[in-house]
Amino acid sequence: MVSKRLSREAGHRRKFLAIIDETPECERAAAYAARRATATSGALVLLFVIEPGDFQHWLGVEQLMREEATDKAKATLEKYAATLRTELGIEPEMVVREGKATEEIHKLIEEDQDIAILVLAAGNAKEGPGPLVSSIAGKSAAFPIPVTVVPHNLTDEDIESLA
Q: What is the pLDDT of residue 27?
A: 92
Taking residues 122-147, what's their average pLDDT?
66
Check pLDDT > 70 for residue 14. yes
HSE toward the beta carbon, residue 105, CA cutoff 13 A: 27
Report pTM.
0.86
CATH number, domain 15-162? 3.40.50.620
Q: What is the pLDDT of residue 128?
A: 54
Domain ranges of the chain: 15-162
Task: Give, in degrees to the nearest 5, the angle at Cα 108 between 104 and 109.
Answer: 115
Cα separation of 90 and 17, whole Å? 14
Taking residues 84-95, what's their average pLDDT?
95
Q: Do 151 and 122 form a contact (C-beta atoms < 8 A)?
A: yes
Check pLDDT > 90 for residue 125. no
Helix (H) / strand (E) element for 151: namely strand 147-151
